[in-house]
A and B are shown apart, each in its own frame.
Chain A
């Protein structure tokens, strides 16, 4: 049984940064791909990037290049997504999603509960 538990909701000022965590149940954490997908209110899904902890070489969508940093801590089975220079249209629910041990990702099998980030 795979569980992904994300950190709580955040309210941030424009131009600040936010860091969201995603703690995974101990189940070969290091070898799976952890991705981040966001969903603005009333909108669809948008892939931001992903990482396979054992390789520690994240890939990012061009839309977020330079603003997003994805990391993974193998000692605590936790993946992180940090987004900087926040703008109002970064207000969204941010999901972590685990897929097979592949990057680029092929699909997202397990999802966290989502973290609402409000920029205001």
Chain B
């Protein structure tokens, strides 16, 4: 994948977890980042757009940040219902394509 994410992360209920996403100048360096949650077998769901904005209905336990060519999704107060795959995405100016990370599987222990 053009964007790099860790394959998996885990944490206990109630804890906070962060998921990193790294890219390059042609993508994250010049374009905003979005984050998606996907429960296997269902469609992705938008969690964060424009680096740090939450759509209506997304709890403030989910937050996003971006610095240069890296972005981070933070999930506080983990719940078992947060178990899912998480993807970062952006546009790449050289590839002229939307690009995503390979996905990170979150396990709530």
Residues on A lying within 8 angstroms of B by beta carbon are: 35, 37, 44-47, 50, 59, 61-63, 95, 97, 104-114
Contact = CB atoms under 8 A, between A and B. Distances in A.
12 contacts: A44-B87, A44-B102, A50-B98, A62-B95, A104-B96, A105-B98, A106-B31, A108-B34, A108-B44, A108-B89, A111-B44, A111-B45
B67 interface: no
A107 B34 contact: yes
B65 to A, nearest CB: 16
A37 B34 CA distance: 15
Contacts of A44: 1, 87, 100-103
B50 interface: yes
Q: A-B pairs with the 6 shortest C-beta distances?
A: A47-B98, A107-B34, A111-B43, A107-B49, A61-B97, A45-B100
Interface string B72-90: 0000000000000001010
B46 A107 contact: yes
B52 interface: no
B45 A106 contact: no
